[in-house]
Chains A and B, each alone.
Chain A
């Protein structure tokens, strides 16, 4: 089945230790998104790629970076995780420009110790 896959599902990292979260998709969608969701909160968009074009949200901290080496893969890098970065990180895709239906992966739960 075509889908959005996130690895790992659970990640524990130490305060200040860089961490990378991975997302892959078999839908061949042009747009990939990264959201952060804290407990009982709405998902918050961090950035998205429209093909190779990177679009950063104005309030996304510089601590968060992303890479999209090809259509299928997208990575979220947190350079120096703080305790406040503990959250669920959700990857999503849409076929074309933002506005099309978004399909989400299962998420990666990040714990910072």
Chain B
């Protein structure tokens, strides 16, 4: 059974800091990995999708990497801003069960 872990559950950083959010998964036989952002009381916004054959994807100040063999992904946020404060969830798609398995997320607070 696929399990996705995101540690720590919460993180607070000062504005301007570069930061890395970690995601680990137990079954390396994934098709892809997706990072989402969730603001309080809102739905999920897709940030980046990495296919299993890819090593990384970039969008603006965000860069996501994937090391499938070790079951790890990182989301790098450059020059963090207070507007980046949100919960960041990673999810992996495993063909065996044909569904996304989510982590619980990391709640990020960027202090002005």
Contacts and interface: CB of A to CB of B under 8 A. Distances in A.
Interface of A: 4, 6, 40-43, 45, 48, 55, 57, 88, 90, 92, 97-99, 101-107, 109
A4 to B, nearest CB: 8
B43 A98 contact: no
Nearest to A9: B41
B49 to A, nearest CB: 5
B43 A102 contact: no
Given A104-B45, A105-B43, A43 B31 contact: no
A93 to B, nearest CB: 11
B32 interface: yes
A103 B95 contact: no
Given A41-B104, A42-B102, A109 B34 contact: no
Contacts of A40: 104
Nearest to A44: B102
7 contacts: A55-B98, A99-B93, A104-B46, A105-B43, A106-B43, A107-B42, A107-B43
B100 interface: yes
Q: Secondary structure at chain B's binding surface: helix, strand, loop or mixed? A: strand
Given A40-B104, A42-B103, A45-B99, 20 more contacts: A6-B43, A42-B4, A42-B102, A42-B104, A43-B44, A43-B102, A88-B41, A90-B44, A92-B44, A98-B100, A99-B32, A99-B93, A99-B95, A99-B98, A101-B46, A104-B36, A104-B44, A104-B46, A107-B42, A107-B43
Most chain A beta carbons < 10 A, residue from B89, B99, B103: B99
A57 B100 CA distance: 12
Contacts of A106: 42-43
A2 to B, nearest CB: 13
Nearest to A108: B43
